[in-house]
């Protein structure tokens, strides 16, 4: 899921070749935006932003709903491009566009409440009023990945726009077409230069970091670190979602049929190229053998192959050829250290693209890269554990912390265990879908990211700058704490501290 951020541009006039994931056939050649083009786009965005922010929130929402109508009208071209450049199954492709449409409806309905100025207590300053107002940051840059181009680009652009910002999106160099088409459809309604798309690889992304008031990135931890270092030079706020190594904890009383179905889907959806994929499964010993047997049977029924409107597949090829190298390296390392591949483990037949069989691995441990590094492929490693305590300990023994799941019929116990897992989000008897719940924020801990986005008030307020405001409505010549200072007033304050918090007369007030 990496998106690079480097520093030196290629030769002027360079073009970017976009290829079909399933066949390798060329889809388009696009001019790369250099540093000058990025600066020009930023200037246009800054000019477009103030009049946009000056519009009423209701009007901004109405325009975004009209923009959604244009996207749906242009869905055939957008979906076809997304299908070809990602290689994903049709259901996943349509699901991306559906998510974008749902995000617009959700935030337009709730933004008036989420962005409404809030009254706050002015204590200890009696007689005054306090409030917080939410102001747009200005120009927001979005660097989005190749695995879910629409969801992860427009999913951030929508609340940023609604909050009153201008937005520049730099999609992955592997999958820029659907994002370009969707933004072009929206721009038939939105004011000029409010939503722009830049084309390029890491150099274009680096130049974008230098130009914006906030940068939002979905990528690898290494990319996030480079972005954060570069943004720090201008103290530019960052919002980072940086992948995961998500654990699934299956207790001995779990509904094994449901857990097996979830592990197969959570591990192989979109060829396993999901930041929230099930990448580690810890199963209590009494049911580990049965769970693994059923999982192998289920995985052998999954279908991979070339995608298309009528294709009968569950997942397609890798979006980029480099990803299979990581998967094969992890599997080779695991086998060398004693792991057993129970099904799959090798490339599947296919023309042009790179396909991989659904894979189950047993006899794994934390000495293996397969349980420590993000694999990002259709591979599910299963580890038997002695107890739920061991499962939680191993789940937390990771540098990642994006999502997790706990599976048990004892819901109260499941919730208690879930609260102990170190992750930005967690499910009980469910997996991945917490990211699709509009009212839940999404973000990671540890190397999985900085900040929360997508859902709830957090999902739109993150694109604003809270401004604290204190108001005095009375006409007063001076305040008690203004000059001149007097020793008597200092003694009164000291006495008050003793009275309230020093134990004088047994008092222990707050």
If asked whether residues 387 and 298 sit together in one domain, one would say: yes
Residue of 216, 268, 275, 431 marked catalytic: 275
Please indicate whether residue 290 is annotated as part of the active site.
no
Indicate if 128 and 192 belong to the same structural domain: yes
Q: What is the pLDDT of residue 481?
A: 87
pTM: 0.93
Q: Which tokens sit at 160?
A: 């940023």
Q: Are 172 and 104 in the same domain?
A: yes
pLDDT of 89? 95
Is residue 42 domain-resident? yes
Report yes or no: 223 and 29 within 8 Å, Cβ to Cβ.
no
CATH number at residue 299: 3.40.309.10
- Specify the pLDDT at position 415: 98
Identify whether 16 is part of a domain. Answer: no
- Tell me the three state secondary structure of residue 242: coil
- The pLDDT of residue 8: 46
Range of the domain at 277: 246-438
Q: Concatenated DSSP letters for 443-484?
A: E-SGGGEESEESSHHHHHHTTEEEEEEEE--S--S--TTSSS
Co-location of 118 and 143 in the same domain: yes
For residue 12, the model assigns a pLDDT of 59
Do 97 and 185 share a structural domain?
Answer: yes
Does a structural domain hold residue 6? no
Report how far Cα 213 is from the mean position of its chain's Cα atoms. Answer: 19
Residue with tokens 């747009």: 136
User: 192 with 296, same domain?
Assistant: no
Considering the domain architecture, whether residues 319 and 344 belong to the same structural domain is answered as yes
Q: How far apart are CA 318 and CA 347, in angstroms?
A: 11
- 284: in domain: yes
Tell me, what's the pLDDT at 1?
Answer: 44
> Does residue 283 sit in helix, strand or coil?
strand
Residues 371 and 395 in one domain: yes
Tell me whether residue 110 is in a domain. yes
Catalytic choice (85, 173, 241, 357)? 241
pLDDT for res 4: 46
Structurally, the chain folds into a number of domains equal to: 3
Whether residue 29 lies in the annotated active site: no
**Strands laid side by side in the 464-471 sheet:** 118-120, 129-136, 464-471
- Do the Cβ atoms of 419 and 372 come closer than 8 Å? no
Same domain, 301 and 389: yes
What gap in Å lies between CA 200 and CA 174, rounded to an integer? 9
Residue 293 counted as domain residue: yes
- 21-66 tens-digit pLDDT: 999 999 999 999 999 999 999 999 999 999 999 999 999 999 999 9
Check which CATH number belongs to the domain holding 153 and give it: 3.40.605.10
| Ordered per-residue pLDDT tens for the chain, 510 residues | 444 454 444 455 789 999 999 999 999 999 999 999 999 999 999 999 999 999 999 999 999 999 999 999 999 999 999 999 999 999 999 999 999 999 999 999 999 999 999 999 999 998 999 999 999 999 999 999 999 999 999 999 999 999 999 999 999 999 999 999 999 999 999 999 999 999 999 999 999 999 999 999 999 999 999 999 999 999 999 999 999 999 999 999 999 999 999 999 999 999 999 999 999 999 999 999 999 999 999 999 999 998 877 789 999 999 988 899 999 999 999 999 999 999 999 999 877 889 999 999 999 999 999 999 999 999 999 999 999 999 999 999 999 999 999 999 999 999 999 999 999 999 999 999 898 898 999 999 999 999 998 889 999 999 999 999 999 999 989 988 899 999 999 999 999 999 999 976 554 555
Q: What is the pLDDT of residue 3?
A: 44
Q: Say what the pLDDT of residue 7 is.
A: 44
176 and 155 in one domain?
Answer: yes
pLDDT at 505: 59
Whole-angstrom Cα distance, residue 467 to residue 414?
Answer: 40
Question: 498 phi and psi, to 5 degrees?
Answer: -65, -40
The crossing angle, in degrees rounded to 10, of helices 57-73 and 149-162 is: 160
Cβ atoms of 39 and 207 closer than 8 Å: yes
Q: Is residue 24 part of a domain?
A: no
- Whether residues 354 and 499 share a domain: the answer is no
Query: What pLDDT is stored for residue 311 in this prediction?
Result: 85
The rounded distance, in Å, linking the Cα atoms of 202 and 300 is 38
Same domain for 63 and 147, yes or no, is: yes
Instruction: Note whether residue 126 is domain-resident.
Output: yes
């Amino acid at each position: 899921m990496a998106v690079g951020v480097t520093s030196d541009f290629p030769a002027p006039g360079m073009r970017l070749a976009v290829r079909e994931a399933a066949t390798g056939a060329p889809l388009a050649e696009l001019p790369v935006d250099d540093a000058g083009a990025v600066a020009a786009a930023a200037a246009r965005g800054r000019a477009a932003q103030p009049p946009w922010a000056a519009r009423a929130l209701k009007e901004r929402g109405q325009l975004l709903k009209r923009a959604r109508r244009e996207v749906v009208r242009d869905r055939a071209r957008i979906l076809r491009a997304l299908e070809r450049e990602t290689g994903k199954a049709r259901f996943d492709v349509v699901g991306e566009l559906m998510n974008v449409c749902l995000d617009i409806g959700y935030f337009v309905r709730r933004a008036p409440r989420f962005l409404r100025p809030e009254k706050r207590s002015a204590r200890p300053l009696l007689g005054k009023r306090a409030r917080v107002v939410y102001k747009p940051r200005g120009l927001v840059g979005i660097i989005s990945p190749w695995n879910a181009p629409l969801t992860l680009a427009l999913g951030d652009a929508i609340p940023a726009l609604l909050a009153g910002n201008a937005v520049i999106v730099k999609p992955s160099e592997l999958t820029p077409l659907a994002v370009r088409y969707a933004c072009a459809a929206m721009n038939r309604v939105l004011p000029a230069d409010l939503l722009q798309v830049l084309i390029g690889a890491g150099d274009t992304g680096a130049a974008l970091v230098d130009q914006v008031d906030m940068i939002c990135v979905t990528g690898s931890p290494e990319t996030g670190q480079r972005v954060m270092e570069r943004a720090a030079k201008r103290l530019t706020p960052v919002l980072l979602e940086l992948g995961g190594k998500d654990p699934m904890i299956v207790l001995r009383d779990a509904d094994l049929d449901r857990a097996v179905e979830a592990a197969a889907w959570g591990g192989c959806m979109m060829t396993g190229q999901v930041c929230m994929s099930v990448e580690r499964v810890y199963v209590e010993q009494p049911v580990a053998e049965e769970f693994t047997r059923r999982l192998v049977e289920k995985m052998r029924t999954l279908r991979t192959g070339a995608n298309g409107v009528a294709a009968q597949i569950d997942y397609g090829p890798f979006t980029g050829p480099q990803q299979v190298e990581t998967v094969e390296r992890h599997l080779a390392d695991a086998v060398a250290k004693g792991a057993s591949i129970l099904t799959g483990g090798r490339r599947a037949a296919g023309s042009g693209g790179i396909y991989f069989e659904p894979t189950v691995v047993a006899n794994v441990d934390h000495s293996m890269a397969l349980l420590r590094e993000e694999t990002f492929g259709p591979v599910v490693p299963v580890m038997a554990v002695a107890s739920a305590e061991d499962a939680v300990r191993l789940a937390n023994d990771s540098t990642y912390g994006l999502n997790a799941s706990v599976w048990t019929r004892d819901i109260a116990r499941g919730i208690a265990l879930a609260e102990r897992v170190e992750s930005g989000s967690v499910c009980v008897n469910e997996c991945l879908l917490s990211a699709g719940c509009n009212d839940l924020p999404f973000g990671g801990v540890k190397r999985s990211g900085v900040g929360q986005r997508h859902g709830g008030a957090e999902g739109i307020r993150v694109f604003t700058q809270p401004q604290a405001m204190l108001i005095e409505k009375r006409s007063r010549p001076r305040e008690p704490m203004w000059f001149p200072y007097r020793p008597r007033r200092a003694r009164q304050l000291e006495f008050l501290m003793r009275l309230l918090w020093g134990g004088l007369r047994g008092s222990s007030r707050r």
